[in-house]
Amino acid sequence: MSHPALPAADSAFAAALAESARGPDRDGVFALWLVVRAALGAAQPAALPGHEADRLRALIARLKSLSAPTPLKRALGAAAQDLAAEHGAGPAVVLSHLVAPTADCLGRRLADAVAAAARAARSPAP
């Protein structure tokens, strides 16, 4: 089951990916998309025990291989670590911490998409 906010986030990031040229900005958009999807997934009750932890470990490994702009890359790494931590910040808090670096590195439109995902993560899907 997916989070109801996922289609809106997916469409915003797909449009940004289509518009961005190859390089750090495109990698940054893709990395941000992965983290937003993981956070929205973590905002829901886990269907399979341990599955979420495996997905977050894979996310952390994938983020290391992408060449996002440095401030965003640091923020994404911290967000993934927070999501993976047993008593880390909740998904809504993690996403809200990504709004400012996203606005600085990738623009206001994607920052608004991340803020909308943060608001949606505050109220888990039914």
In a domain, 46, yes or no: yes
Write the burial class of residue 71 (CB in 10 Å: 0-12 exposed, 13-18 middle, 19+ buried): middle
In a domain, 114, yes or no: yes
In a domain, 26, yes or no: yes
In a domain, 1, yes or no: no
Which residue segment(s) compose the domain that 84 sits in?
A: 6-122
In a domain, 96, yes or no: yes
* pLDDT tens by residue, 41-99: 877 766 556 677 788 888 889 998 889 899 999 999 999 989 888 776 788 899 999 99
In a domain, 29, yes or no: yes
pTM comes to 0.83
Angle of CA points 92, 17, 123, to nearest 5°: 20
Q: Which residue has the tokens 């893709």?
A: 30
In a domain, 19, yes or no: yes
The total number of structural domains that make up the chain: 1
What SS3 class is residue 82?
A: helix
Give the DSSP letter of residue 51.
H
* pLDDT tens by residue, 92-102: 899 999 999 99
In a domain, 95, yes or no: yes
Give the pair of three-digit tokens for residue 112: 């608004």
CA 57 centroid distance within chain: 14
Angle of CA points 18, 110, 20, to nearest 5°: 25
